[in-house]
Amino acid sequence: MRSPRRCSRNGCPRQAVATLTYVYNESTAVVGPLAAFAEPHTYDLCEPHARSLTAPRGWEVVRHEGEFEPPPPTTDDLVALAEAVREAARPAPRPPSEDQNQNAQSTPPSTSRRGHLRVIPPTH
């Protein structure tokens, strides 16, 4: 599952809720709601950093005055969550019976693949 976007400030572990964009030809820093996609030359900020941002002398800060809300989960997140739940709900393999144990001793163990994982049966 994709992790939520984090604040761009060094060492800040909080989730981003705002996007900072600089408009250099107007000497303006714009702090608005979180952009739909991470863009080059923009910075994602958490709420405390978005509210406390200051600009260099001579620059103007245009700040969103409403509430900054975390973005809703995307369909990618929901699909990944559904697949994880589906995988966890699969029944566990049954232990081999006595007949299978005798057959397993005469044949080498086999492996099977499930996605990117490999299941290797235990050796007895």
Give strand pairing partners of 20. Answer: 31, 43
pTM (predicted TM-score):
0.54
Percent of the chain scoring above 70 in pLDDT: 65
What count of other Cβ atoms lies within 10 Å of the Cβ of residue 11? 5
8 A C-beta contact, residue 70 and residue 4: yes
The tens digit of pLDDT for each residue in 29-72 reads 999 998 888 888 899 999 999 999 998 899 999 988 777 776 66
pLDDT category of residue 1 using cuts at 50, 70 and 90: very low
Which of 11-25, 36-50, 69-83 has the least mean pLDDT? 69-83
